[in-house]
Amino acid sequence: MTQAISRISGTGSALPTRLVENLEVAQLLGKDPSYIFRVSGIRTRHWVEAHENCSSLAEQASRQALGQSGLTPNDLDAIIVSTTSPDMPFPSTACLLQARLGVVGIPAFDCSASCSGFLYGLSMADCFLRAGQFQRCLVVASEVKSRTLDREDLSTAILFGDGAGAVILERATNSDLGVMSIRIHSDGQHHDLVKVSAGGSRQSLSQAVLDNRSHTLRIQGSKLFRIAIRQLRQAILKHVEEEKWDVSDLDQVIFHQANARMITHLCRTLGVSSDRCVAIMEDLGNTSSASLPMALDFANRHNRLKKGSRILLGAFGGGLTWGTALVRWG
């Protein structure tokens, strides 16, 4: 009996209309624009306008992915949205997206795994398809980080942008092409390294919270960088070995676009040349969980992914969470 597998049949992405250059951010922080690029590798990012939100970006990216797949929303069996910046606490952004797409009856839900969320969502969809429960899943990561930024905080204001990325995952029977395997991990002992501490049931919004800006995003960047490099590199090497691949076999490596230094360091220590590494953060900044599917969509639409290409996806984020996926494109 042929073993079922899942394959990515379409990708899409979306950005807010407003382009924010380093000069604008530098003026908020009292820094020189060249400093921002030097420490982050970012020149521009996009921030939402008043009429844009997580679900509107998700809809744009989803319709692109559906169009590339030759499908309509009614062809979907499930919708999974990764976000830590939803339209509202509930209902889920996935349900809001479902309404925007005009689909009724299929399951729609969110997952929250910070910057690793897309791989968490992809893993769930992959399991649904392999088990035969569904035939086609829409997996979206959509983030609006600009609305939780303290724009006077140097460690976060220079980094984050808004955007959405989406894929259509379909059940297939050609085991030579598709998502070979996904590995996801977490370590809650380090939950304080990236967080928005207020606005939930532990500490609800109040004037004191607003005055202290504890409803905004905070990062302990140096410590997070060290742990991320170590854990993700180990996870990549172990996963590649389990799949009986070698790092030298990888045609394209696509990481969460956290910062340029992290991507460069990972590629150097893994022995991956720059022409095999997809990098889009110079123009888009860190879009949290959306960055991985957006980078995948960029690679796809710029013909960097050929049939049979061996692709590594890797991400690391708050929680702490991290994950890897190995894909044979086609």
Is 188 within 8 Å of 313 (Cβ atoms)? no
Reply yes or no on whether 74 is catalytic. Answer: no
Nearby residues of 50 by Cβ (< 8 Å), 6 or more positions away: none
Residue 107, preceding bond cis, omega within 30 degrees? no
Reply yes or no on whether 286 is catalytic. Answer: yes
Longest dimension (CA), the chain: 64
Reply yes or no on whether 51 is catalytic. Answer: no
Of 95, 137, 256, 259, the active-site residue reads 256
Of 22, 53, 286, 300, the active-site residue reads 286
The number of beta carbons lying within 10 Å of the beta carbon of residue 238 is 12
C-alpha 197/C-alpha 85 separation (Å) is: 13
User: The tokens of 133 are what?
Assistant: 């429960």
Three-state DSSP class for residue 248:
helix
C-alpha 281/C-alpha 259 separation (Å) is: 7
C-alpha 26/C-alpha 249 separation (Å) is: 41
Of 111, 115, 137, 277, the active-site residue reads 115
Is 120 within 8 Å of 256 (Cβ atoms)? no
User: The tokens of 54 are what?
Assistant: 């997580």
Alpha-carbon distance values, 269 to 23, 52, 262 (Å)? 33, 39, 11
Is 108 within 8 Å of 85 (Cβ atoms)? no
Burial of 297 (0-12, 13-18, 19+ CB in 10 A): buried
The number of beta carbons lying within 10 Å of the beta carbon of residue 130 is 15
Alpha helices per DSSP H over 243-280: 260-270
* φ, ψ of residue 61 in degrees (nearest 5): -65, -40
- Planar angle of CA 122, 183, 176, nearest 5 degrees: 75
Q: What are the residue numbers of the active site?
A: 115, 256, 286
